[in-house]
Amino acid sequence: MKGTPNILDNQVGLFFVVHDEFLLHSCILDEAEPYGDFLNYPLSHDKVWSKYYLKKYHVDFDYFPRGRIVYNKVKDSYILYYDECIEDEVNEIKRLFLDKECIIAIDEHYQCHNCNTGYVI
């Protein structure tokens, strides 16, 4: 998968998978936004998509599969939420966490146009 980094330790972020390309936006944990027991990337998928990709792809942010990587401070582990149609890609991404446990979890919030039966184009 194009665009996949070598290691994701000590980072949180959000991502899109567009035509087999991994588009990651991340920050180190020291720059992450606290959210209860979690550290999260401070921007939304919509804001990132509007700024970097809307003019290139001409579709809304929720058209392609996407996900989010958060850090659980209490459990000292990562959770990688994702759209079920990119399970193979997410398993590849999970291997990039070397120092801490990374749990993967399907989240309906991140459904793309193919997975969301109510999606209107």
93-120 per-position pLDDT tens digit: 998 898 899 999 999 999 999 998 887 7
* Secondary element (H or E) of residue 93: helix 87-94
Range of the domain at 42: 11-110
Q: What's the number of domains the chain is made of? A: 1
Q: Choose between 52 and 9: higher pLDDT.
A: 52
What do you get for the CA distance between the two ends of the chain, in Å? 26
Statement: residue 1 has pLDDT above 70:
no
- Give the span between the Cα atoms of 63 and 12, in whole angstroms: 22
Report yes or no on 2 lying in a domain. Answer: no
- Give the span between the Cα atoms of 39 and 32, in whole angstroms: 6
What percent of the chain is predicted at pLDDT more than 90? 78
Q: Are 56 and 42 in contact (CB under 8 A)?
A: no
Report yes or no on 3 lying in a domain. Answer: no
| C-alpha to C-alpha distances, 40 to 72, 88, 102, 109, 116, nearest whole angstrom | 9, 23, 14, 16, 25
Report yes or no on 119 lying in a domain. Answer: no
